[in-house]
Chains A and B, each alone.
Chain A
């Protein structure tokens, strides 16, 4: 009946002068479900974030797109309700449920008013535990997925990223579109949906956070009711895979005025001791908005693009350092050449103390500003759990940033940034590129 409260610590962030307080309470329900809770009674609603590790990577051979389609169907009928009855019930509660599927995770995001909490949880439970996968709903959502696939095949950005991932990861799930193909999606059956559901939503891969007008003591029973009946264990996760693409340029001919480039090479694991150095480095290189080197050189000085960005992407089974830029067909070659120069210069010469200091001030100042709403806090907390961080990470995170030295960053720059290994996939009709 009672939950056990393991730990309740008051987390206070000091960043420049900003001080964000987030009291994270760790609870374990009687049924063994662990969750992080923040009690925030000032607005009468609750945000709930649920994740299952695995995601669309759990699709069986020949069933690509099954997990994606299955997640699209959770809101399309469950228990004794068909799709329309379910949605009418949800709308009457003014609750919102979002079901998402990603490479490595399944996500369920819910928002509901305190006053209709019990009914909102009952209805969400029905969608998660007892989906029907009615044939008419399956066919309807399948048609929507097929239309998405057709649209993605004509979007320059999608063509670029899927070409890149396919070349980098080939047959690994990361190498194919999680929507599936026209062929695999057309072949999916009701049985495949039940199967994908049983594989993807399991206790052993579950992460939960709750923020809002609810006490920690109420959360355990709520979660046992909501998720208690899920299967215990999921299937084996896919193997880790090395980034498999050599340096170079791939041009995909496509008639559109602005060429889109998607580029990258191998990255760094999230639990690597150098991750914070890489994170600071990436901020200076290409993720620091107008202050980044790439934004400054490619946009501010030369006017070659509206935006260029780079991203450290530590997936669960592979690590990448990615970037993207778009420029007219006549100027994309220059944009790419400048990008390569910045990459090579940063690898060879590192960043300056001034850049390091500026990045640290920004990163440590910006961190507490992220905790600015129930859903945002819930999302941050569930993400932390998925990468094995403890609640006190919120307290210590800025210390990790501050501890990064110029020597660290520049050693990591020399190791991580590999100008010759950068591969650019360019979609468009670029002039001066082969």
Chain B
């Protein structure tokens, strides 16, 4: 705790005192509610997050979570197909939805006095969707074209898909969110309805309302519209197949003539943020910045782009927002006359050097300052704050975890970073991928 205060002393307390105004409660039917106040503009973001993502899908139905997200914009008992979005637009708002491994979320951004209408419609489609086989046939083509656009037409996305499949052999993080094409083509009305009946229920949902609203008013509205929906008694416990211990390094080479620039990825299994236990994840945030955050000052950037001309691009990335085990990734795009094996050797040397030497305290301080400043900048983005809470609560974290996270980040020490690096940098728990246009480039 003391270190936290020392770090903050570099900045004034006005910034340190800033924090979002958050109120939380749970409705009787189990629906969690988070209200974030921001009265700077008369705008509200209304989001409903379901604790159901692609990694919860039944075997053989990959893509159904995302497909269902599309179907939620079709007809209900009181809304015609497309009427939901049309009504939002007619009220000057915009709406959309997104699906990930761990959640599916629906949101509208609109004038704050239209919140009730949004709740009315969103609560209606939680249980009253009335989709038909016709909807299925047309919308399935739309998601197949979406897959074409995002994945089939994009060699990096195809490579990433192969890569994830190699990384996760038992966990559904190895299956693409949008689905495998051959399974998407078979998705039918029964798959969709079975999915909907079970998972779209208040006890599996989180409501996040952010903007120019009062918590009491939101509560009253939430009780009126969401509170009356019965909880789903058969909601299964969220148990997903976990990875067995990985005991051997995995390597893939993806060749596609549409690749413009060869590159390599190394990805290690890594711990995620867990309830009451976010310290390792916080240390991994520092590790990513130290190794690959800035091309000018990070270890990979300095060694491969400045001290030598080995790489055109380097990066290290880690995102601790995940329900189950996640990854820590490194990317290197070699310079024109450098082979992938030489680039990979140079990358491994950087890791070895990092492990063998002390971390410069100045760099730890700079990262601390940047993470602190990021919290100030984040206050300007209400929708981003809403996203933070929605994602966390669907990934098993609590409101307390979300609010503790900035402090946990400030408390990370160089020793913490070294300890987590020693744990994560295990080649037997890694996948290395080369992405090339021509087999001749894979050397």
On A, residues with C-beta under 8 Å from B are: 15-20, 40, 42-45, 83-84, 86-88, 91-92, 94, 111, 113-115, 140, 143-144, 146-147, 150-156, 255-258, 260, 288-291, 296, 299-307, 326-328, 358, 361-362, 364-369, 371-375
Does B152 lie at the interface of the complex (its beta carbon under 8 Å from any beta carbon of A)?
Answer: yes
A residues near B58, Cβ cutoff 8 Å = none
- Are A290 and B42 in contact, CB atoms less than 8 angstroms apart? no
Q: A44-B14, A91-B294, A94-B369 are in contact. Are A147 and B148 (CB under 8 A)?
A: no
CB 8 Å contact bits of B134-160 with A (1 = contact, 0 = none)? 000111111111101100110000000
Q: A18-B111, A91-B294, A94-B373 are in contact. Are A366 and B138 (CB under 8 A)?
A: no
- Are A365 and B85 in contact, CB atoms less than 8 angstroms apart? no
- Are A366 and B93 in contact, CB atoms less than 8 angstroms apart? yes
Nearest-neighbour CB distance to chain A for B185, whole angstroms, equals: 12
Does B277 lie at the interface of the complex (its beta carbon under 8 Å from any beta carbon of A)?
Answer: no
- Are A301 and B15 in contact, CB atoms less than 8 angstroms apart? no
A residues near B40, Cβ cutoff 8 Å = 40, 42, 372
- Are A18 and B42 in contact, CB atoms less than 8 angstroms apart? yes
A residues near B138, Cβ cutoff 8 Å = 300-303
CB 8 Å contact bits of B81-107 with A (1 = contact, 0 = none)? 110011001111110000000000000
- Are B111 and A369 in contact, CB atoms less than 8 angstroms apart? yes
Q: A18-B92, A365-B91, A369-B92 are in contact. Are A306 and B149 (CB under 8 A)?
A: yes
- Are A258 and B149 in contact, CB atoms less than 8 angstroms apart? yes
- Are B297 and A361 in contact, CB atoms less than 8 angstroms apart? no
Q: Which among A155, A300, A361, A372 has the highest number of chain B CB atoms within 10 Å?
A: A372
Q: Which residue of B lies closest to A111 (CB)?
A: B377
- Are B18 and A84 in contact, CB atoms less than 8 angstroms apart? no
- Are B94 and A15 in contact, CB atoms less than 8 angstroms apart? no
Cα A237 to Cα B374 in complex, Å, equals 39
- Are A43 and B379 in contact, CB atoms less than 8 angstroms apart? yes
- Are A147 and B381 in contact, CB atoms less than 8 angstroms apart? no
B residues near A288, Cβ cutoff 8 Å = 89
Partner of A18, one of B43, B86, B141, B261: B43
B residues near A365, Cβ cutoff 8 Å = 91-93, 110-111
B residues near A19, Cβ cutoff 8 Å = 42
Nearest-neighbour CB distance to chain B for A217, whole angstroms, equals: 20
Nearest-neighbour CB distance to chain B for A359, whole angstroms, equals: 9
Does B302 lie at the interface of the complex (its beta carbon under 8 Å from any beta carbon of A)?
Answer: yes
Cα A307 to Cα B143 in complex, Å, equals 10
Does B336 lie at the interface of the complex (its beta carbon under 8 Å from any beta carbon of A)?
Answer: yes
Name 25 interchain pairs, CB-CB below 8 A, sorted by A. A18-B42, A18-B113, A20-B43, A87-B294, A88-B297, A91-B370, A94-B370, A113-B376, A115-B15, A146-B336, A147-B260, A147-B313, A153-B260, A154-B258, A155-B260, A288-B89, A300-B81, A300-B138, A303-B142, A304-B145, A307-B149, A326-B153, A365-B91, A366-B92, A375-B380
B residues near A43, Cβ cutoff 8 Å = 18, 376, 379-380
Q: Which residue of A lies closest to B112 (CB)?
A: A18
- Are B94 and A44 in contact, CB atoms less than 8 angstroms apart? no
Cα A328 to Cα B437 in complex, Å, equals 23
Within 8 A of A (CB), among B253-306: 257-261, 294, 296-297, 302, 305-306
- Are A358 and B145 in contact, CB atoms less than 8 angstroms apart? no
Does B335 lie at the interface of the complex (its beta carbon under 8 Å from any beta carbon of A)?
Answer: yes
Nearest-neighbour CB distance to chain B for A42, whole angstroms, equals: 6
Cα A413 to Cα B313 in complex, Å, equals 47
* New contact pairs (7) apart from A44-B14, A326-B153, A368-B42, CB-CB < 8 Å: A18-B111, A45-B377, A115-B11, A147-B312, A156-B153, A291-B89, A326-B148
B residues near A146, Cβ cutoff 8 Å = 336
Does B73 lie at the interface of the complex (its beta carbon under 8 Å from any beta carbon of A)?
Answer: yes
Q: Which residue of B lies closest to A290 (CB)?
A: B85
Cα A20 to Cα B81 in complex, Å, equals 32
Cα A155 to Cα B112 in complex, Å, equals 41
Partner of B296, one of A83, A147, A305: A83
Cα A321 to Cα B93 in complex, Å, equals 25
Cα A303 to Cα B120 in complex, Å, equals 29
- Are B309 and A303 in contact, CB atoms less than 8 angstroms apart? no
Partner of B43, one of A150, A362, A369: A369
Cα A238 to Cα B144 in complex, Å, equals 44
Partner of B261, one of A45, A147, A303: A147
Q: Which residue of A lies closest to B437 (CB)?
A: A154
